[in-house]
Amino acid sequence: MPVHRVHPDVSVLSDSLEVPGIGHIPANAFVLHAAQPVVVDTGLGLPDRDFLRTLSTALDPADVRWIWLTHPDRDHTGGIFALLDAAPQARVVTTFVGAGIMSTEHPLPMDRIFLLNPGQSLDVGDRTLTAFRPPLFDNPATVGFFDDRTGVCFSSDCFGGPMPSAELAEGPDARDLAPEGLHDAQVFWASVDSVWLENVDARKFQDSWQLLRERAPELVLSTHLPAASGITGRMIDTLSAVAGLAPFVGPDQAALEQLLAGFEPAGSP
Sign of CA dihedral 7, 10, 11, 12: negative
| Cα angle 106-108-70, degrees, rounded to a multiple of 5 | 100
Nearer to Fe ion, 15 or 75 (CB): 75
Torsions phi, psi of 186, nearest 5?
Answer: -70, -40
Q: How far is the CB of 257 from Fe ion (least distance, A)?
A: 28
Among 9, 15, 41, 75, binds Fe ion (CB under 5 A): 75
Contact segment (CB under 5 A) with Fe ion among 31-39, 99-107, 146-154, 221-229 equals 221-229
Nearer to Fe ion, 36 or 139 (CB): 139
How distant is the alpha carbon of residue 62 from its chain centre? Answer: 23
Query: Is residue 148 close enough to count as binding Fe ion by CB under 5 A?
Result: no
Q: How far is the CB of 71 from Fe ion (least distance, A)?
A: 6
Q: How far apart are CA 250 and CA 130, in angstroms?
A: 36
Contact segment (CB under 5 A) with Fe ion among 51-59, 97-105, 222-230, 242-250 equals 222-230
Contact segment (CB under 5 A) with Fe ion among 59-67, 155-163, 205-213, 244-252 equals 155-163
Question: On the CB side of 126, how many CA atoms lie within 13 Å of its CA?
Answer: 10
Query: Is residue 170 close enough to count as binding Fe ion by CB under 5 A?
Result: no
Beta bridge partners of 91: 66
The answer for residues whose C-beta is within 8 angstroms of residue 188's C-beta and 6 or more apart is 22, 161, 162, 248
Among 73, 94, 136, 161, binds Fe ion (CB under 5 A): 73
Q: How far apart are CA 215 and CA 191, in angstroms?
A: 25
Q: How far is the CB of 70 from Fe ion (least distance, A)?
A: 8
Contact segment (CB under 5 A) with Fe ion among 38-46, 91-99, 208-216, 219-227 equals 219-227
Q: How far is the CB of 98 from Fe ion (least distance, A)?
A: 12
Identify the burial level of 189 via C-beta atoms within 10 angstroms of its C-beta, where 0-12 means exposed, 13-18 middle and 19 or more buried.
Answer: buried
Query: Is residue 173 close enough to count as binding Fe ion by CB under 5 A?
Result: no
Query: Is residue 138 close enough to count as binding Fe ion by CB under 5 A?
Result: yes
Nearer to Fe ion, 186 or 223 (CB): 223
How distant is the alpha carbon of residue 73 from its chain centre? Answer: 10
Q: How far is the CB of 224 from Fe ion (least distance, A)?
A: 6
- Closest to 42 measured CA to CA, from 57, 26, 31, 58: 31
Q: Which residues bind Fe ion (CB under 5 A)?
A: 73, 75, 138-139, 157, 223
